[in-house]
Amino acid sequence: MGARIGMLSTYPPTQCGIATFSEALVTHLVAAGADVGLVRLVDAPAPPVPLVVEQWVTAEPAAAAAATLDDYDVAVVQHEYGIYGGPDGQDLLDLVARLNVPVVAVLHTVLTRPSRNQHRVMAELVDHAAALVTMTTTARDRLITGWGVDPDRVTVIPHGAEDNRSAIVPFPNGNTRRRRVLTWGLLSEGKGIEWALLGLAELRRKMPLPDYEVVGQTHPRVLEREGEAYRDRLVEMTASLHLAERVRFERRYLSSPDLREVVRQADVILLPYDSPDQVTSGVLTEAVAAGKPVISTNFPHAVELLSSGAGLLVPPRDPSALAVALERVLTIHGLADRMAATSRNLAASLLWPTVAARYLELASSMRALTVPAAL
């Protein structure tokens, strides 16, 4: 019998990347025959959700959530600083300190320059965990060098993706159809959309512009703090650059089927992110798993995933480099097709059934730590 897995995470209908990640992982673990119970992190009590066995309201004590997780063989804890209560999410430390079962900590962010408290929170979580999961080699290396973690304790398991590969259709170089460039995800400062707009303004001097679609609502936590200030600035910038005919902002949160359809319709995925430290990107993983050519700033996850030829890398905050990359992909015959073919070859290792199988294998090995040896 496989390990019974208790998972701690945000979860839909909460709208955040970790909630979407956890829903997909749980779905595929269950499909593989695993017994999974989800302890859902919420800001306030919420209606019941299938597979959710307990809610942990962020302002409340951790005892009940910890007791529920202790009923399973292994606790899989999704970690991101911003989702737990207390400064830098430090309330999580009280919960993991209460657990008697092995803890597998899935680290969605590993910073190169954490604050003192961020370093403390991560260090204590690492100490409590029996195993650590990162989604890139870069994040694993940061743990080893920055927190002194034993390499044998860290497993790299990619961020999963649904199989969204459509029939192979040659990229429409020379075709009269206007191409579609897509950026999607929850909108917030740091997505770099302003640099994409400036890049399009430069590209217009060299060739007819593609359609550029920015799909996704503003991140709920950003919306609480700042409203639609970032989106409003982008819309104003689009008008001032005379790009309104070619740029469309669609303010909606994509369900998984809607997301897959939007991605399938795109010709090129553009990720103009600002941060040089991002070690995990679900959007990037979904783009590659869909077999799409990608243009991205050179954040660590993009460097790892695209360097084999699945995409073009550019420096952050460099609209000229973005314009050059777009021109190359849209005009050089065969380039986009070669990039897409490389993406399709990478997809198999990124698909959720493969990723879920690796989590099951890791959880089973952790379960062995608590199973008494046979007499």
Q: Does a structural domain hold residue 373?
A: no
Same domain, 31 and 149: yes
Residue 120: per-residue pLDDT: 97
| Bridge partners for 250 per DSSP | 215
Same domain, 338 and 356: no
Same domain, 319 and 357: no
79 contacts 139 by C-beta, under 8 angstroms: no
What's the mean per-residue pLDDT of the chain?
Answer: 92
Q: Does a structural domain hold residue 171?
A: no
Q: Could you list the residue range(s) of the whole structural domain that residue 19 is in?
A: 4-160+351-367
305 contacts 247 by C-beta, under 8 angstroms: no
What average pLDDT score do residues 265-287 get? 92
Same domain, 332 and 358: no
Q: Does a structural domain hold residue 175?
A: no
Q: Does a structural domain hold residue 375?
A: no
Same domain, 136 and 195: no
Tens digits of residue pLDDT in 171-218: 665 555 789 999 999 899 999 999 999 999 999 999 999 999 999 999
Residue 221: per-residue pLDDT: 83
Q: Does a structural domain hold residue 117?
A: yes
Same domain, 141 and 200: no
Same domain, 140 and 192: no
Q: Does a structural domain hold residue 169?
A: no
Residue 260 has pLDDT above 60, yes or no: yes
Same domain, 147 and 265: no
Same domain, 121 and 20: yes
Domain count, the chain: 2
Q: For position 308, which CATH number holds? A: 3.40.50.2000
Same domain, 153 and 191: no
Same domain, 343 and 317: yes
What average pLDDT score do residues 301-310 get? 94
Same domain, 302 and 202: yes
Q: Does a structural domain hold residue 168?
A: no
Residue 268: per-residue pLDDT: 96
Q: Does a structural domain hold residue 372?
A: no
